[in-house]
Amino acid sequence: MKKLTVLSIVAATLLLVGCNESSTGAEAKASAEKKVEAPAAEAKTEATEAKKCGEGKCGGDKKSAATEAKEAAATAVEKTKEAVVEKAAEVKDAVAEKAAAATAAVAATATAAVDKTKEAASAVAEKATEAKDAAKDAVAGATGGADGKALFAKCSSCHGADGKTKALGKSAVIAGQPAADLETKIKGYKAGTRNTAGMGALMKGQVGSYSDEDIKAVAAYISGL
């Protein structure tokens, strides 16, 4: 019994020395491994002792010493199991943490990519709108904002929608004439100075309210028919 106690103290001392070893790097891992190793070593020592006692090589009450050693070994095994379970839980948590971090990182990258794409798309849309506006301005600048086609609507009843009808059987065909010539002729009607078939007054009534921009726009439209 005395011998067993002494051996236990020695074993405990050895374990303490082992635990006090300076642990550098992977501290968590090392300590977790020790948690497993220590009870295992303890169990081995106790088991060896129990075996010795069983063979009659230890003093005192052999039977109870053997039983005690057996119990101690069982306790050590239990401790080892606990340590292993604890370590497994630690590893599981660490893996879960890493996975969560990785998922978050991927989500953040994906969100950033989507935002960049959205930004690019809206920039393109903005540029397209700008270009459209610029084109509109260019057309309006050339005709002063007047719409030649709309201005020709009321002329089509006599000159034809395609501008190829001799108005009231008297006028020349106006479609395809040079825009500059048409402009001069229309301005002549507006001023009351043009009258080629005796219908100059009628034409004055048609274009009297047209501005210079309107005349330019409608002349350009007729020229293109």
Give 40 or 199: the residue with its C-beta nearer to ligand HEC.
Answer: 199
Task: Name 115's Cβ contacts closer than 8 Å, sequence gap at least 6.
Answer: none
Give 35 or 159: the residue with its C-beta nearer to ligand HEC.
Answer: 159
**The only residue of 207, 216, 217, 223 in contact with ligand HEC, by rule CB under 6 A:** 207
First-to-final CA distance of the chain: 124
Give 103 or 157: the residue with its C-beta nearer to ligand HEC.
Answer: 157
Q: Are 119 and 191 within 8 A, CB to CB? A: no
Does residue 157 touch ligand HEC according to CB under 6 A?
Answer: yes
How many whole angstroms separate alpha carbon 174 and alpha carbon 198?
Answer: 17
Instruction: Name which of 53, 81, 80, 56 is nearest 67 in CA terms.
Output: 53
Does residue 170 touch ligand HEC according to CB under 6 A?
Answer: yes
Instruction: Convert residues 178-197 into a mask of x (bound to ligand HEC by CB under 6 A) and - (unbound).
Output: ----x--xx-------xxxx
Task: Name 152's Cβ contacts closer than 8 Å, sequence gap at least 6.
Answer: 163, 218, 221, 222
Does residue 158 touch ligand HEC according to CB under 6 A?
Answer: yes
Does residue 200 touch ligand HEC according to CB under 6 A?
Answer: yes
Q: Amino acid identity of 16? A: L
Does residue 155 touch ligand HEC according to CB under 6 A?
Answer: yes
- Applying CB under 6 A, which residues contact ligand HEC? 154-155, 157-159, 167-168, 170-172, 174, 182, 185-186, 194-200, 202-203, 206-207, 218
